[in-house]
């Protein structure tokens, strides 16, 4: 089935509340360059608690090893999921993107940690001087494994071509577990779609009709303009130090919850207050994994 932009009514209609995702760490910033980046398990949990308090309902997690380097260690991933699950009610999303240096096979093993959600990037992107590799067969394998394990994917779209690849994925493999299709536009990566209102809205217009919600983030200085356009256009927000290390001109981000608080204030101002964690779970139809 082929959809054109005009058929998309669901995800582009105005959303009542705002899903705020925090991406606190990422894989591309060194702790040495940014000591306030949460890289230990204790820092991750403390960040998660503070960000939930500030209005986040989903956390996109990359972990680091004992030397603060990006890691896909199975034990550490499972410990991180368990610790954040114990201390918060956030929807827990593990990155399957890892760092630009992680091999594809290792990235698939992230699902073993049993997160609520996983990222699934819909195509290869130049990433500064590096390449973030996501060939279609890898995407399809990851998607099928997520379906089997009842993990809800978030489709990450770094470029307009990724929207077409999402269309192909749904045509080939059907809907995700739970039936909701949530996407996140990651704009402003050098090599991907620019962090401009025009580029974001072109992506939104092209979304398949099956998409039930969309979010956006602007990397670096496009952070605030993209948040404003997303809120004005029915989209949700992703913020955090994975994407942005500068709170304002000359003022580095000190803590992820500062970015979440500002996003929550913006959302309230736009009459689209932050969703609670339970509302976010319902929006994304994630499986109940907590034991009472």
- Chain residues binding Zn ion by CB under 5 A are 95
| Secondary element (H or E) of residue 215 | strand 213-218
- The Cα angle at residue 214 between residues 28 and 148, in degrees rounded to 5: 80
Rounded to whole angstroms, the Cα distance separating 124 from 127 reads: 9
Provide, rounded to whole angstroms, the least separation between the CB of residue 6 and ligand KMH. Answer: 30
Q: Report the distance separating Cα 207 and Cα 193, nearest Å.
A: 15
Q: Can residue 25 be called a binding residue for ligand KMH (CB under 6 A)?
A: no
R_g over Cα of the chain: 17
Q: Is 121 one of the binding residues for ligand KMH (CB under 6 A)? A: yes
Hey, what are 123's tokens? 């195509």
CA distance 197 to 257: 25
Residue 67 CA to residue 224 CA, distance in Å, equals: 32
Contacting ligand KMH (CB under 6 A), which of 28, 46, 79, 258? Answer: 28
142 vs 263, which CB is nearer to ligand KMH? Answer: 142
156 lies in the site for ligand KMH, by CB under 6 A? yes
Least distance between ligand KMH and beta carbon 171 (Å): 22
Bridge-based pairing state of the strands 152-157 and 182-187: parallel
Closer to ligand KMH by CB, 62 or 272: give it: 62
Q: Which residues contact 206 (CB under 8 A, 6 or more apart)?
A: 5, 160, 163, 164
Rule CB under 6 A: say whether 95 interacts with ligand KMH. yes
Q: Provide, rounded to whole angstroms, the least separation between the CB of residue 153 and ligand KMH.
A: 10
In the bound state with ligand KMH, the residue whose beta carbon lies nearer, of 12 and 125, is: 125
By beta-carbon proximity to Zn ion, the closer residue of 8 and 95 is 95
In the block, which residue shows the tokens 């948040």?
227
Nearer to ligand KMH, 47 or 119 (CB): 119
Buried/exposed 220-233: b ≥16 CB within 10 Å, e otherwise: eebbbbbbebbbeb
Task: Name the residue nearer to ligand KMH (CB basis): 27 or 284.
Answer: 27
| Furthest-apart CA atoms within the chain: distance in Å | 50
- Going by C-alpha positions, the residue among 232, 255, 231 that lies closest to residue 244 is 255
Q: Which stretch binds ligand KMH (CB under 6 A): 13-21, 93-101, 160-168, 262-270?
A: 93-101
Smallest gap, in angstroms, from Cβ of residue 242 to Zn ion? Answer: 5
Burial class (CB in 10 A: 0-12, 13-18, 19+), 173: middle
Residue 41, contacted partner among Zn ion, ligand KMH, none, CB below 5-8 A by kind: none
Count of CB atoms situated within 10 Å of the CB of 239: 32
* Identified binder of ligand KMH from the candidate list 24, 38, 97, 235, rule CB under 6 A: 97
Q: Which stretch binds ligand KMH (CB under 6 A): 22-30, 43-51, 197-205, 282-290?
A: 22-30
Q: Which does 127 bind (CB under 5 to 8 A by kind): ligand KMH, Zn ion, none?
A: ligand KMH
Residue with smaller CB distance to ligand KMH, 95 or 256: 95
Is residue 138 near ligand KMH by the rule CB under 6 A?
Answer: no
Q: Which residues bind ligand KMH (CB under 6 A)?
A: 26-28, 95-97, 99-100, 119, 121, 127, 132, 156
């Amino acid at each position: 089935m082929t959809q054109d932009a005009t058929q998309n009514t669901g995800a582009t209609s105005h959303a009542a509340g705002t899903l705020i995702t925090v991406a606190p760490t990422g894989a591309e910033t060194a702790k040495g360059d940014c000591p306030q980046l949460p890289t230990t398990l204790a820092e991750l949990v403390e960040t998660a608690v503070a960000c939930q308090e500030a209005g986040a309902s989903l956390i996109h997690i990359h972990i680091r090893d004992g030397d603060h380097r990006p890691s896909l260690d199975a034990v550490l991933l499972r410990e991180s999921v368990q610790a954040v699950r114990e201390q918060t009610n956030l929807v827990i999303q593990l990155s399957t993107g890892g760092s630009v240096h992680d091999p594809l096979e290792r990235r698939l093993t992230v699902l073993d940690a049993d997160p609520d959600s996983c990222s699934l990037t819909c195509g290869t992107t130049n990433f500064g001087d590096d390449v973030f590799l996501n060939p279609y067969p890898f995407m399809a394998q990851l998607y099928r494994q997520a379906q089997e394990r009842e993990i809800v994917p978030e489709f990450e779209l770094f470029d307009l071509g990724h929207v077409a690849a999402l269309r192909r994925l749904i045509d080939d493999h059907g809907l995700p577990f739970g039936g909701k299709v949530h996407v996140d536009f990651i704009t402003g990566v050098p090599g991907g779609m620019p962090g401009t209102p025009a580029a974001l809205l072109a992506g939104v217009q092209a979304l398949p009709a099956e998409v039930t919600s969309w979010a956006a983030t602007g990397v670096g200085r496009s952070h605030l303009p993209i948040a404003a356009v997303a809120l004005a256009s029915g989209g949700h927000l992703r913020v955090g130090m994975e994407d942005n290390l500068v709170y304002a001109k000359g003022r580095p981000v000190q803590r992820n919850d500062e970015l979440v608080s500002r996003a929550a204030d913006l959302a309230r101002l736009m009459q689209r207050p932050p969703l609670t964690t339970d509302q976010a779970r319902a929006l994304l139809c994630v499986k109940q994994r907590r034991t009472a």
